[in-house]
């Protein structure tokens, strides 16, 4: 199975358990790995028959408009479900990185979902 990856897509979403943490958008990095057989698209050198990673990135950028989440676990699960439903990969792994602890480079959660 082939994979299409979007690595460290920068977004600014309202996320955090306390209300004051959710009051302003925080920088997050999203990684999305989509399992998808793009053999036919590659042979034809055509975007038809593959996943448009630009469209995925644009959709994820718009996801935070007017929204907030307490947990990055919830956000990662929602993104995985959205990608499966709208872009139809065979499987997807989503990682959300957050930067709340000064002594750590980041904290992250990762979720994997399969179609079907």
Q: How confident is the model at residue 82 (pLDDT cuts 50, 70, 90)?
A: very high
Whole-angstrom distance, CA of residue 100 vs CA of residue 104: 8
pLDDT of residue 116: 80
25-63 pLDDT, tens digit each? 999 999 999 999 999 999 999 999 999 999 999 999 999
pTM across the whole model: 0.95
Whole-angstrom distance, CA of residue 69 vs CA of residue 56: 20
Domain boundaries, the chain: 3-114
For the question of residue 98 being annotated catalytic, the response is yes
Sheet holding 68-69, edge to edge: 68-69, 3-15, 26-35, 91-98, 107-114
What is the CATH code for 3-114? Answer: 3.30.1130.10
């Amino acid at each position: 199975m082939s994979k299409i990856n979007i690595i460290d897509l920068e977004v600014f979403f309202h996320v955090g358990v306390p209300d004051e943490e959710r009051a302003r958008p925080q920088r997050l990095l999203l990684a999305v790995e989509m399992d998808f057989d793009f053999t036919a698209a590659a042979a034809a050198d055509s975007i038809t028959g593959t996943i448009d990673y630009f469209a995925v990135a644009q959709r994820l950028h718009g996801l935070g408009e007017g929204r907030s989440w307490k947990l990055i676990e919830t956000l990662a699960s929602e993104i995985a479900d959205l990608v499966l439903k709208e872009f139809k990969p065979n499987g997807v792994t989503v990682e959300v990185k957050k930067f709340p602890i000064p002594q750590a480079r980041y904290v992250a959660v990762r979720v994997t979902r399969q179609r079907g």
